[in-house]
Amino acid sequence: MKLRVLARLVQIQRVLVRHGLDEFVRETHLYRPLRFVFLLSPWTWFERRKGNSRAERLRLALEELGPIFIKFGQALSTRRDLLPPDIAAELAKLQDRVPPFDGAVAKHIIETAYGKPLDSVFAKFSTAPLAAASIAQVHVATLHSGEEVIVKVLRPGMREIIQRDLTVMHELARLARNNSAEARRLRIDEIVDEYEKTILDELDLMREAANASQLRRNFAGSDLLHVPEVYWDHCRVDVMVMERIRGVTISDMDTLRAVGANIPLLAESGVKIFFTQVFRHNFFHADMHPGNIFVLIDNPARPRYAAVDFGIVGTLDLRDQHYLAENFLAVFDRNYRRVAELHVESGWVPPDTRVDEMESAIRTVLEPIFNKPLKDISFGTILLRLFDISRRFDMRIQPQLILLQKTLLNIEGLGRDLHPELDIWQTAAPILREWMRDRLSPRAQLRQFRDHLPALVEVAQALPPLMKVAVQRLQDGTLHIGAQPEDIERLREEIRASERRRSKTSIASMLGLGGLLWLGLGLDPPWLTTVLIIASAVFYWRSRRH
């Protein structure tokens, strides 16, 4: 293990112990040789923080460990059905209350990015950050043209920190893969590779600006989601400028109720936004924790969502998108056999999987959840039970679906907070059925034909000369299709020769082993040992020659 990786692992353990999270250290087998050093060291006890609650100590430890761990805490905070209430409430603070960095540093980063003084770009700029997140923080500013904007600034030194922790994650994945069959089944190294692409994309704010523009275009004219405008002239790799959103955070239920916002409609809209992004647009916001979602309440009867932070977006391969939609619809229809067949057809389980056995296992998991409101359905529990089934059928986790699974869990967390009576299945099914109908409609088929028409024309232009050459070679008797008789005979002879070599090698091995056994047991006559070994050598030599 590299020294830098080992040093980071030691640092992680020190932070956990210092925040009184000894149980995590005791549970971590990798640290066993080192943990007593920290538990018995006086400086560890002097630094130990005992005054805070368990939940606060966990949050503080994640904040101290850096952006990758903060994002882990953000994802956990939306799963209130899986976490104790105190921990869920405390981790929710990681969504928008991460400690900021100095505004003077942010000002210096912005001026360096623009290559000119700040007041030449903005008429006003607030050095006090509006909000801070794990990767960047935002400041309020006003352009010289009068528009109020937010300026997002990447945290200093973030690339080096991320690269260091990614190296640690890769090393841990390698250790897990080499020592755990379960980790190999889960393709843990591929999951880390996928996460690396995602987190590195977040470090390029120009990419985030492009994501925002695409999402804004997708929902242009929609009453479901508002995406802020990007001011491209002021965007750089480390700095992004966007329209300022004035709304209520999705987690501020007291304010939403006080203004009379239509909460059930809001919860239903969240589900519609998710399935519209995934299936109709094939481009979805994949970081939908409460800190990134606002509600515009200028019309409380028809509240609209507004999204920020577009660093993580997801798309699906068309084949995965199709199989996923069919899986959802088969689940909605309680067609468990079709769900099992789709898993085999898509390659998500081995091809020799018995469909009837998998159908029965899926029915056992899914049947109890139907005709129940969201408050009575825990996707966390379902996923754990499906995980048990996946072990039985050797189902491999699909890394390309990790972002989608994460987003779906976020949607459940939001829906649970907003309107526990929401039936996610009833809301999503019509959207999926309409998408499948549109996908198979004559208009969609015509559109696909039109899109592929240039390639078809190119192929049609190339066919006549190819066909002419083929006809000429056929007339001359020089056109050969497939294997020729002489090729087949040559292959047969090579196979026979290989079998002869294998036979001679086997005889040589048996003779040699017999000679050694004869010698070892001291049997008579002793000269037979020499004969057997010489015969073994002769057969081996002949096998190498022929």
Residue-by-residue DSSP string for 6-30: HHHHHHHHHHHHHTT-HHHHHH-GG
Non-local CB neighbours of 12 within 8 Å, separated by 6+ positions: 65, 168
What residue has token string 């009833």? Answer: 426
* Catalytic residue of the set 189, 287, 309, 423: 287
Task: Determine phi and psi for 243, rounding to 5 degrees.
Answer: -55, 140
**pLDDT at residue 295, as a whole number:** 94
Q: Is 423 designated active site?
A: no
Task: Report which of 277, 316, 325, 271 is spatially closest to residue 433, judged by C-alpha positions.
Answer: 325
**pLDDT at residue 27, as a whole number:** 47
Q: Is 119 helix (H, G, I), strand (E, B) or coil?
A: helix
**pLDDT at residue 106, as a whole number:** 94
Strand duo 284-285 + 248-249: pairing: unpaired
pTM of the model: 0.70
Mean pLDDT by runs of 10 across the 546 residues of the chain is 69 78 56 51 52 80 82 67 73 74 93 93 94 88 95 90 83 76 70 78 92 96 93 95 93 90 91 89 87 91 93 85 84 86 82 89 82 66 65 68 74 79 79 80 64 64 68 65 58 64 58 54 56 56 54
| CA neighbours closer than 13 Å in the CB half-sphere of residue 474 | 7
Both structure tokens of 170: 């890769």
Both structure tokens of 463: 């066919």
Q: How many residues does the chain have?
A: 546
Burial classification of residue 205, based on how many CB atoms lie within 10 Å of its CB (0-12 exposed, 13-18 middle, 19 or more buried): buried
**pLDDT at residue 535, as a whole number:** 59
Contact 403, 286 (CB under 8 A): yes
**pLDDT at residue 42, as a whole number:** 53
**pLDDT at residue 65, as a whole number:** 83
Contact 328, 322 (CB under 8 A): no
Which helix (H) or strand (E) segment holds residue 239: the answer is strand 239-243
**pLDDT at residue 495, as a whole number:** 63
